[in-house]
Amino acid sequence: MVTNTRALLGDEIVEQVSALVEAVFDGLGPLATQAGGLFAGESPPSAADLERLRPLVLDALSGVHGLVVGAGFIAAPHALADQELGFEWWTATGDTQPRQLFISLDPSSDHFLDYTRQSWFTVPRDTGRRHITGPYVDYLCTDEYTLTFTVPVRAGGTFAGVVGSDVYVRELERLLQRRLRGLPGRAALVNTQGRVIVSNTPRQPAGSLVRAFDIPAWWGSGAEPVSEPDTTLRRCGDAPIALLVAR
């Protein structure tokens, strides 16, 4: 195996992906700070206090060239003073006005929405780190093929919830396809599970799993760049996204 960054293919797309990912996470920064502040006081905030996050939620929603289609804060169970769960989440697509997401969060209700199994919630909670979930079918919110960017919110060492942004896979494709097509051979952006986010070939569509190369094992062992005559595999900056080019 030859490891030589200068010889690697795809500098431009790798930098573009990395910059996009950082821009989406950066867009969540002020919201994460304010959400943390809400939980920093003597007593925890009430569900109604989450409304104070609204201006920064709407800011996050309007950032990154319209790429972000959903944004907000989701509270950890029992983080709020007056109810077990709660959130301030807004969605907007195209020219529609942002809309607040309404659902029942009464845990005693039969129809309580349990988000504690969703990776966008569990991974930041369990690792303390930012996370990109997907691509996945977001059946809890948009019903679309989505990437969800989440950042844990902590206060006094306790996990208080996550702030997050949703991005549609098709919009990423629009932004990234041109550069992918410029690469020699079959090129795809994949997540840590080896799932294709965008590819330049119909034979490996978004959502499919790369089986020719063990991507999860590669991530698990440090994600060092691979440059072989027929395969290039490299991480996009600090993002949990890799570029795979096969000739």
Least Å from the CB of residue 170 to another protein: 10
Q: Which stretch binds another protein (CB under 8 A): 13-21, 37-45, 62-70, 142-150?
A: 142-150
Kindly determine how many residues on this chain lie close enough to bind another protein according to the rule CB under 8 A: 30
Binder to another protein among 39, 87, 136, 149 (CB under 8 A)? 136
Q: Which of residues 143-202 bind another protein (CB under 8 A)?
A: 143-145, 193-195
Least Å from the CB of residue 132 to another protein: 13
Contact mark string toward another protein, 210..239, x via CB under 8 A: ------x-----------------------
Structure tokens at 171: 């919009």
Residue 113 sits in the site that holds another protein (CB under 8 A): yes
Which of 8/79 has CB closer to another protein?
Answer: 79
The span from the CA of 68 to the CA of 168, in Å, is: 8
Assess contact for 208 and 231: CB atoms under 8 A: no
Q: How far is CA 56 from CA 34, 53, 90, 131, 134, in A?
A: 8, 6, 11, 20, 24
Which of 23/140 has CB closer to another protein?
Answer: 140
Which of 58/206 has CB closer to another protein?
Answer: 206
Least Å from the CB of residue 101 to another protein: 8
Q: Which of residues 81-110 bind another protein (CB under 8 A)?
A: 102-104, 106-107, 109-110
| CA angle, residues 192, 137, 127, in degrees to nearest 5 | 40
Which of 209/212 has CB closer to another protein?
Answer: 209
Binder to another protein among 2, 40, 81, 209 (CB under 8 A)? 209
Binder to another protein among 42, 43, 95, 117 (CB under 8 A)? 117
Q: Which of residues 51-70 bind another protein (CB under 8 A)?
A: none
**Binding-site ranges for another protein (CB under 8 A):** 102-104, 106-107, 109-114, 117, 119, 135-137, 139-141, 143-145, 193-195, 206-209, 216
